A and B are shown apart, each in its own frame.
Chain A
Amino acid sequence: MRLLAIETSCDETAAALVSDSFSVESSVVASQAKAHAAYGGVVPELAARMHLERIAGVVKAAMAPLEQDFSALDGVAVTRGPGLVGCLAVGASYAQALAAGAGLPVVGVNHMTGHVLAAEIEDPQLEPPFVGLVVSGGHTDLIHYRSHQDVELLGATRDDAVGEAFDKVARMLGLPYPGGPEIDRVAQLGDPNRFRLPRPVLPNFGFSFSGLKTAVLYLLRDLGEVDEQTRADVAAAFRLAAVETLCLQLEAAVEQTGCRRAVLAGGVASNRLLREMARARLEGLAELTIPAPPLCTDNAAMIGAAGVVRLQIHGFDSTPLEIDPGLRAYA
């Protein structure tokens, strides 16, 4: 069984071919990051327009192994939410019309479940229950993934998502958007222990990255003019504080739930320090699966993986798919 998966919920136009054994025959992502960089963040209308202009070409590239033969597919998986309304509308309308034209059924997928189940591609033997830490520009969620139909949100950020904090701190440091990879790059050259920043660990697995961001703001104000080395040291101190906070809570969640498996997912999970530290902290406690970096940032292979799991439980959608920009994560 083979699905064509399509993802357009934010600023990546993506398509992939995924089998029911979670093997990925193709995965194509057209990033819009450069186009949005000039505005310091994602411009929803620009994102929708770029999806329209790129979707056919992206799908064509993903279909190359099948020589554009849609009859070699068993169905189409597409993101139905959460996400930007215009972007979701483009993906869902395109996917359903393509499926109609090719006589294929459709399965709608929750984007956040997609992030988590990207781990199935990394480790097809992965089975619930597990603890998940999902970190991106919009989410900082600790979840207890008991089964595919029972996912409990253990805790989340009270304010900024961790990816958002990376973007905002990058801007304070004069680094371009998107901030995550830039901070990661600059922090490699810095001393993380020259400055000490708070670890915003809240009760009930809560996070507050707004407070950490404000601490960086005050630090920079106190420092005045900063040279290259100081800038790298601040980036390193921020990265360490953010990553330690995430790992402390992940470890606590593993201990509380008693899960022997854990998943680290979402765009921020491509951060090198986070990957290393999470592995070290969970050593002997739980087996940790982290998708390869291209499967952490938005992509369609993860939508295909979540589509495969959804099919096993619910089958294909029996009615036409409606988008849901505010769809509850992991629902």
Chain B
Amino acid sequence: MAEASSVQLGLDLSVRGEGMALLVRAADVVELRAGLHQVASVAAAVRDLADAAGSQLAGVVVARGPGSYIGVRSALAAAIGLAQARRLPLGLVGSLAVVAHRVDPGPGRLVVAVGAGRGGLFVQRFTAAGGGAGVRWREVGPAEAMSLASPPDGALDGDLLLDPGSVVERPLGERVAAVRSGEEALALLIARGGYTVSGYDLVSADYGVRRGDPT
């Protein structure tokens, strides 16, 4: 979706109080608004970035969840609105895939676990895909919601476990340290095309997670 001079707007409000909106050119973050929380701050950031990008804005990529209740819904809604106004393609990326890209893709299985609030946990597995400069983490199935106190047997077994919020206290798997920030991870994922393109008239908002209906 991008030409050399074009920029993409990335939006990830999955982590409560730590929402981010950014402009990405190639894999570089050229503008960043961080610490976004409520609807107004997100609106202000999107307006700033849309103005800054002007006609170079070539696409919108949004983290579809799972994550913060208001954050994920606000992010999807804002991305749809901006894409519709500018007639841009809308890209969807899993919120835990953004977290995964805080470490370099490599051999083995990466298990990403993040806090889901109210004693819950979102867990998703990744394996490296692609080669050379295009290598990235690819989801193995959707994220799963589970109880932090008693995750199902084997749910957190992996070669690696990335847990930026340190919500998983038991030392399951080898814990890896992030090598880049959340915004750098989102930029990397956008640059490497790690999103699925949707029309702005989104047909299904599943928040990237498997759990009971209707929530």
Q: A94 contacts B214, CB within 8 Å?
A: no
Q: B80 contacts A94, CB within 8 Å?
A: yes
Bound form: Cα–Cα A30–B19 in Å: 30
A83 at the interface (CB under 8 A from B): no
Bound form: Cα–Cα A57–B82 in Å: 14
Q: B43 contacts A91, CB within 8 Å?
A: no
Q: In the complex, how many residue pairs between chain A and chain B have their CB atoms under 8 Å apart? A: 120
Q: Which residue of A lies closest to B57 (CB)?
A: A101
Binds B, one of A45-53, A134-142, A201-209, A301-309: A45-53
A102 at the interface (CB under 8 A from B): yes
Q: A320 contacts B47, CB within 8 Å?
A: yes
A86 contacts across to B, CB distance below 8 A = 69-70, 73
Q: A97 contacts B73, CB within 8 Å?
A: no
- Offer 22 A-B interface pairs, CB within 8 angstroms, sorted by A: A43-B215, A45-B214, A52-B80, A55-B80, A56-B201, A86-B69, A86-B70, A89-B77, A90-B76, A92-B43, A93-B73, A93-B78, A94-B77, A97-B77, A97-B82, A98-B82, A100-B47, A100-B51, A101-B50, A319-B40, A322-B38, A322-B40
A316 at the interface (CB under 8 A from B): no
A92 contacts across to B, CB distance below 8 A = 39, 43
A323 at the interface (CB under 8 A from B): yes
A85 at the interface (CB under 8 A from B): yes
| Cβ contacts A57-73/B at 8 Å (1 or 0 each) | 10110000000001000
Q: B85 contacts A89, CB within 8 Å?
A: no
Q: A52 contacts B76, CB within 8 Å?
A: yes
Bound form: Cα–Cα A94–B11 in Å: 13
A321 at the interface (CB under 8 A from B): yes
From 11 to 51 in chain B, residues with beta carbon under 8 angstroms from any chain A beta carbon are: 38-44, 46-47, 50-51
Q: Which of B38, B82, B203 contacts A101 (CB 8 A)?
A: B82
- Max chain B CB contacts within 10 Å: which of A57, A92, A100, A323? A100
A57 contacts across to B, CB distance below 8 A = 201
Q: A57-B201, A91-B77, A321-B39 known; 11 other A-B pairs, CB under 8 Å?
A: A52-B73, A52-B77, A53-B203, A86-B69, A89-B70, A89-B74, A89-B77, A93-B42, A94-B77, A99-B47, A101-B50
Count of residues in B whose CB is under 8 Å from the partner chain = 35
Q: Which of B38, B39, B80, B204 contacts A56 (CB 8 A)?
A: B80
Nearest CB of A to B142, in Å? 16
Q: A321 contacts B40, CB within 8 Å?
A: yes
Given contacts A57-B201, A102-B85, contact A320 B73 (CB under 8 A): no
From 75 to 107 in chain B, residues with beta carbon under 8 angstroms from any chain A beta carbon are: 75-86
Bound form: Cα–Cα A102–B81 in Å: 10
Bound form: Cα–Cα A322–B85 in Å: 21
Bound form: Cα–Cα A48–B73 in Å: 8
Bound form: Cα–Cα A83–B79 in Å: 22
Bound form: Cα–Cα A321–B85 in Å: 18
Q: Which residue of A lies closest to B201 (CB)?
A: A56
Q: A45 contacts B215, CB within 8 Å?
A: yes
Q: A90 contacts B73, CB within 8 Å?
A: yes
A218 at the interface (CB under 8 A from B): no
B2 at the interface (CB under 8 A from A): no
Q: B81 contacts A97, CB within 8 Å?
A: yes
B79 contacts across to A, CB distance below 8 A = 97
Q: Which of B81, B84, B86 contacts A96 (CB 8 A)?
A: B81
B202 at the interface (CB under 8 A from A): yes
- Max chain B CB contacts within 10 Å: which of A51, A52, A96, A319? A96
Given contacts A52-B202, A59-B84, A94-B78, contact A100 B73 (CB under 8 A): no
Q: Which of B39, B46, B75 contacts A100 (CB 8 A)?
A: B46
Q: B70 contacts A85, CB within 8 Å?
A: yes
A321 contacts across to B, CB distance below 8 A = 39-40, 43
A95 at the interface (CB under 8 A from B): yes
- The 10 A-B pairs of least Cβ separation, nearest first, read A101-B85, A97-B81, A98-B81, A96-B43, A100-B47, A97-B78, A93-B77, A94-B77, A56-B201, A94-B81
Q: Which residue of B lies closest to A70 (CB)?
A: B85
